[in-house]
Structure 1
């Protein structure tokens, strides 16, 4: 078990553990906000492939906005360890609920299926396939809502990534190593829905080979579920991917029509109330019941803009004392605390977010900030890897024992969080007692690069900026946006530029979102730094999806 602790957080209890690591409940030392921290195990941290997957999981989560997916605060990596800091969901895993309460009833099961499908739909919308949907990876909250977690083996749709997943929920095509598809997630969600209705999995072979044959060839056991939802189960568990709904969003439409016709207009309200009542019976397993609050201090050092989401922390802003402490920390070589934050309702905090040495979710559609955050973020070397990122979790009952068809940094045995932010908890920040009067020297910027620039919506885009320096002194990164009608030309400025101050590391990765304000088929993002980069400014341009250039 790793003894390294993410700087700036105080751990209170372990929520779960598995072969790939552990998930702990922790408190941000300066603000008292509680989070879930997923650590990569020491044995896997020395294996580059697993570290790459762990980074990709964080990066995927950072690019995914959804009320139905546990959110990312930051990714932290140093020579001593790697960790994903994420939203703490105050709930229990669906696996715990099923094992302790048995079948849920049709309305409650439909509510769970709908929430899960909406989370998958948000992932599918950005081209991500979860590949490991199962009861362990669904967390049910105290109000009956649910969140999807653990994107540890998620990949881009169409990727040929081999055989991976949890056998009891794997679609027939997953067993053959076919390219990842959204239809496979629909299959896994339906298999879980079947289990919620009946109390057992749709197929239960005595070994992996028998289980594979059942998923590929055995009839769909629709006669075991209520007649009203048999068509949903038949469609979702169809053997051929093209006979299932191609996207989770389409399946939600079918579900709502069937549920409304069979159980009335208020089916969802009753189902949610049923789930809330069942979770209340397991109140002692909730993270909020397993930790206590204590006094806090107020010297946060990093602003991390997040889209407004219920239950998340309010925004954290560094004050003058926090800046002085951060400067002292750089000179003393200490790893200081990381902050993370939820954006307030103002447009200035909903568009962009940046984290030194990490990728994190940016705000939802809003105008660019007029006064960008300027908080230094210290600590650890990070070598970002291009890709999309995921969100994990751990259930109070511990890691799943379900066999996984292929080992991975976050396959079946990985921790599956059962947590979410409740009220600020504990801890007092340990900060240096002396500050140097000499400011740190700005390092030379060796390189700045723009990657993963893509259109995320009709008027929204996202880009990843990577900056490499030869020292850990302070730098600033300015990101500017342009729109135009001519390829290869930046065009006119679109909204205000965004500037981020960073220090404490030699490599930084910032993921920044932007809502486009002007017309133009070509969108361009440009990144520059102070001091100026030796390799010159970096930019990237895309042709938007709604435009066709003849």
Structure 2
């Protein structure tokens, strides 16, 4: 028996696959609108906890009407499968961009950070913490805008949750198994910003234990980034959540003040320049 597909959509291409499922390019047969369909993997579909999590992701996305977050069209669940039908973002992941280009100029890195932070801010306003901000989950479009995707392990800020996230971007409180807060997302976004500027993650580690120790105890490597943005990196990677900007909206305000002072009023246009040359035809679509 072939795999279950969402009724009403013609599928053409698999865009990506992982442990929890796969994403395919499809077209809505009635309107001709191209979409991305995210399927929960068949092996997980029989496990109620995963279906519940997938349903939660759809509910979170459904409540988020943000130009900086990939939008939700519909959620479909049947006895044979579950799928989220999402906006198709014409862009490349920040991970692919960094792999192809290496480190970015500060203005371009700040612009990408700002766009996806605005998406985070919209989520934080609804009480949603993403918990897995990383270069794979930021899409950059040819006009230099960025969008946040994949709320697969997002949680309501009132929920207590176990350890979840991607180790290189996890805040100290996540390593300790404490509840995630908007400041946890600020930490992950700053770690991603650091990687945009330097081409490497803030803390190297050969194994999980080493990474945990460094994130919890090692000094913030602010001297590795341009002087103008060191205070932003120090604040965002502070060990204590209370020493970071409280949420993405507060972080954007700090970012704009620092960028304006350091790089002048035209910093966003200059940042957009190199990104406008992106070749999205061979990029990743979500």
User: TM-score, with normalisation over the residues of structure 2?
Assistant: 0.98
Q: State whether residues 158 and 180 of structure 1, in contact with CA within 8 Å, keep that contact through their aligned partners in structure 2.
A: no
- Residues of 2 paired with 1:63 and 1:177: CA distance? 27
The Cα shift of 1:74 comes to 0.1
Match of 1:152 in 2: 152
Match of 1:216 in 2: 216
The Cα shift of 1:254 comes to 0.7
5 Å-filtered alignment, 1:356-505, equals 396=284, 418-419=285-286
- Residues of 2 paired with 1:174 and 1:159: CA distance? 14
1:285 matched to 2:285:
no
- Residues of 2 paired with 1:254 and 1:74: CA distance? 35
Q: State whether residues 2 and 41 of structure 1, in contact with CA within 8 Å, keep that contact through their aligned partners in structure 2.
A: no
Match of 1:116 in 2: 116
The Cα shift of 1:116 comes to 1.4
- Residues of 2 paired with 1:57 and 1:76: CA distance? 12
5 Å-filtered alignment, 1:172-183, equals 172-183=172-183
Highest Rg: 1 or 2? 1
The Cα shift of 1:247 comes to 1.0
For structure 2, list consecutive stretches of 5 or more residues without a partner in the other structure: none
User: TM-score, with normalisation over the residues of structure 1?
Assistant: 0.51
Match of 1:510 in 2: none
Match of 2:78 in 1: 78
- Residues of 2 paired with 1:75 and 1:100: CA distance? 34
The Cα shift of 1:2 comes to 6.7
- Residues of 2 paired with 1:51 and 1:156: CA distance? 17
Matched residue of 2:11: which SS?
A: strand
Q: State whether residues 9 and 29 of structure 1, in contact with CA within 8 Å, keep that contact through their aligned partners in structure 2.
A: yes
Matched residue of 1:73: which SS?
A: strand
The Cα shift of 1:177 comes to 1.0
- Residues of 1 paired with 2:173 and 2:241: CA distance? 8
- Residues of 2 paired with 1:24 and 1:2: CA distance? 15
The Cα shift of 1:179 comes to 1.2
**Cα displacement string for residues 464-520 of structure 1 (whole angstroms, at most 9, x for unaligned residues):** xxxxxxxxxxxxxxxxxxxxxxxxxxxxxxxxxxxxxxxxxxxxxxxxxxxxxxxxx
1:227 matched to 2:227:
yes
Match of 2:129 in 1: 129
Counting matched residue pairs gives 286
**Cα displacement string for residues 202-248 of structure 1 (whole angstroms, at most 9, x for unaligned residues):** 01111000000000000000111000000000000000000000111
Match of 1:257 in 2: 257
**Cα displacement string for residues 316-354 of structure 1 (whole angstroms, at most 9, x for unaligned residues):** xxxxxxxxxxxxxxxxxxxxxxxxxxxxxxxxxxxxxxx
Match of 2:240 in 1: 240
Matched residue of 1:12: which SS?
A: strand
Matched residue of 1:76: which SS?
A: strand
Matched residue of 1:86: which SS?
A: strand
Give runs of ≥4 in structure 1 deviating > 3 Å. Answer: none
5 Å-filtered alignment, 1:196-215, equals 196-215=196-215
For structure 1, list consecutive stretches of 5 or more residues without a partner in the other structure: 287-395, 397-417, 420-550
